[in-house]
Amino acid sequence: MLHTYFRVIVGIMVLLSVALSVYVNPNWMWFTVFIGLNLMQSAFTKWCLLETILVKLGARKSGDSCEIH
């Protein structure tokens, strides 16, 4: 479930930041850049703050439908 929550939250954040940059102020695009940079650093460091927060909130790390047992 953790990966599902992660993908949903990140997708919402990206769409929200794009909508805010179009309808409110173009500087909101920096939020999209921030999200992208965090995704890139987590690929190299294998650590993501959102994942840590989700685990502390009770999201399960195992049991995903895509996980190989």
**Better-scored residue on pLDDT, 62 or 26:** 26
Residue 20 lies in a domain: yes
Residue 6 lies in a domain: yes
d(CA 61, CA 43): 17
Q: What is the pTM of this model?
A: 0.76
Q: How many CA atoms lie within 13 A of 68 on its CB side?
A: 0
Residue 67 lies in a domain: no
> How high is the pLDDT of residue 35?
94
Residue 68 lies in a domain: no
Residue 33 lies in a domain: yes
Give CA separation, 53 vs 17, 19, 26, 34, 50, in Å.
Answer: 21, 25, 29, 18, 5
The number of domains in the chain is 1
Tell me if 35 sits within 8 A of 16, measured CB to CB: no
Per-residue pLDDT tens over the stretch 9-61: 999 999 999 999 999 999 999 999 999 999 999 999 989 888 889 899 988 87
Taking the CA atoms of residue 36, residue 42, residue 44 and residue 47 in that order, the dihedral angle to the nearest 10 degrees is: 170
Residue 61 lies in a domain: no
Structural domain boundaries, residue 7: 2-56
